Chains A and B, each alone.
Chain A
């Protein structure tokens, strides 16, 4: 099965926590069938994840829609790459 990955930054909905990263990943998979892998903390309720999506579409758009519809997150944005300006 083809699988695409992209990084996203999410803001957790009120009441949602990621105290246990593995448990959080499992809970998201069970509720949405979308596979997330914890990447990094950004702020208190803002975290980065690697989103593994299938079917493969531009920027994992379908998977992001599913995640937003889950009420687990209040925002989802691309975790874009930046480079130096030398």
Chain B
């Protein structure tokens, strides 16, 4: 009896502890940084009071005090990060424009190389949705950080560290409609994620809901039976159960997340706007274009204006065709209205994007296997913008190993039990890009369509090293044989002329919404003593802030000589060894981005080379003196601790 009471007490205590822990975790989730801070990191220029800085904390305090006086800012030294870099503390926390102005004010001092906000960092946000999973392979592997096994995932976790979205951001799903009452979606009016939307299908037979256009964006089902095939409208269709395609797409873009139910969506807080344009078997261009216009807040005669215009339109649909003027003119108007359109490259296994994915200004998305090669069914070509996971099975029998799992329904015809299901297709790569674009807009509501497009491309991760057993997708031998079959069942090694700019990187894309992007071009190798130029001039400023400053650094196991380190290019020569060259670009608001490239210098050296302790850059007399002083200071401190 006593033992059982102790056991019960222990269980209660454990449960309470777990509950408290869960509560604390939840609180940690909701208590995200507001962007407010009273700390700034200041990097002083090389050669400025170097000797003082390395020999005395008091000197660092004095240096910061002098800077405070010159800049007219009330601040004090918090701690030194390095001899030239100090964390300073303001008298009160600042955020937004005030913080940016303060950083700019400090950064204008001649002795300061740069100043940036000293923001808090947290462990990555991991949602508690059970299918997202932890510990074993997630059913939503495509959202996780990439690894050596899973190369193509988009790393939504680090994007969620920046933003989980905003209810002010609407992403339209032009598709078969959405099941509002799925427990992982829900009506917005009842606390869910899905706005009322519209049914834009004009042909009642195709609409399958008894009428033409109406204000109901829900999905009644799109099944095709044998009997349907006798109707000329559906005579070229295939018998199929209802697809619940739009519901699947909606879940990827914006399933209710961190709710302990089902799956995680990319935009935890972004809203989904369902616009029905696909009915039984297909949808007409006229309804799709009308749906695009309505979704983006443009007029469609006879239809009330959309009260919740979308900033992003997802179209996991199309066919192999040229882009028509009807699409072009709608797209021009949507772009002018600030609406980004993302469309599937298509599943025909063709060397050209489907339409409307091939229309100017549309982001066309092809599909990758989990290892980063193009999945067999996916279209490729120069008109593809970017690539994202599209699901792949690997095995020829049994369960598909790497599908894209999302919200679905078990009904064969009309809606039945709400479920989750796996899918394959560029249909499911597309909403990953649309969802990430939605997060970018949440991070920076004023970002333009041009900036969204550019930044999605520039931040995409490079395709993995080629699998030697596969052809390049852009190889002229990668083409269908007489029977219409592609080599390796359509799987091929992606490059930037076949699968777009690279693999979607959610974290980098969202980060770039408010930051410049550092880009480096240049040789990856050189000979010892050879002077090479490493080019960072392709780097871009933050949206709306074009001007950036440059800072180059190099480390390695040899001795490097660097030219000017504050320009868009770097002249570099070195003794034999392995080097890392880093470019940091900073905008006028103190926002920065860095990129590092590896550089292998080969061959004999003329100046004794080798070097010890890395640290690129030539070492001049002043630096040598400072280094000696720093070592002496370190030795003295070490002795005191003994």
Contact = CB atoms under 8 A, between A and B. Distances in A.
Interface of A: 7, 9, 39-44, 46-48, 75, 77-86
B240 to A, nearest CB: 10
A44 B212 CA distance: 19
A80 B354 contact: no
B283 A82 contact: yes
A39 B283 CA distance: 13
A12 B73 CA distance: 65
A48 B284 contact: yes
Interface string B407-427: 000000000000000011111
Q: Which of A47, A79, A85 has the most chain B CB atoms inside 10 A of its CB?
A: A85
Contacts of A39: 202-203, 284, 286
Interface string B279-292: 00111111111100
Nearest to B356: A82
A67 to B, nearest CB: 16
Contacts of A79: 284-286
A16 to B, nearest CB: 14
B282 A9 contact: no
A74 B298 CA distance: 22
B319 A86 contact: no
B290 A42 contact: yes
B326 A46 contact: yes
B311 interface: no
B474 to A, nearest CB: 22
Contact of A40 (B248, B286, B425): B286
Interface stretch (B299-307, B533-541, B571-579, B582-590): B299-307
Contact of A41 (B282, B302, B316): B302
A85 B426 contact: yes
A83 B317 contact: yes
A82 B319 contact: yes
A41 B289 contact: no
B427 A84 contact: yes
A47 to B, nearest CB: 8
Given A84-B316, A85-B344, A85-B426, A40 B202 contact: yes
Contacts of B317: 82-85
Contacts of B293: 42-43
Contacts of A84: 175-176, 243, 245, 278, 316-317, 425, 427
A43 B298 CA distance: 9
B347 interface: yes
30 contacts: A39-B202, A40-B202, A40-B287, A41-B302, A42-B289, A42-B300, A42-B326, A43-B289, A43-B298, A43-B300, A44-B299, A46-B289, A48-B284, A48-B286, A77-B324, A79-B285, A79-B286, A80-B321, A81-B281, A81-B319, A82-B288, A82-B318, A82-B319, A83-B278, A83-B281, A84-B176, A85-B344, A85-B354, A86-B245, A86-B428
Interface in B236-275: 243, 245, 248
B346 interface: yes
Contacts of A46: 289, 326, 329
A9 B286 contact: yes
B424 A41 contact: no
B213 to A, nearest CB: 7
B230 interface: no
Given A42-B289, A43-B290, A81 B300 contact: no
Contacts of B90: none
A12 to B, nearest CB: 11
A86 B285 contact: no
Nearest to B424: A86
Contacts of A80: 284-285, 319, 321, 324
B51 interface: no
B168 interface: no
A47 B285 CA distance: 11
Q: Which of A43, A46, A47, A84 has the most chain B CB atoms inside 10 A of its CB?
A: A84
A41 B284 CA distance: 12
B248 A85 contact: no
Nearest to B213: A40
A40 B278 contact: no
A82 B282 contact: yes
Contacts of B430: 85
A41 B198 CA distance: 14
B471 interface: no
B284 A7 contact: yes
Nearest to B200: A40
A10 B521 CA distance: 48
B284 to A, nearest CB: 5
A7 B424 CA distance: 31
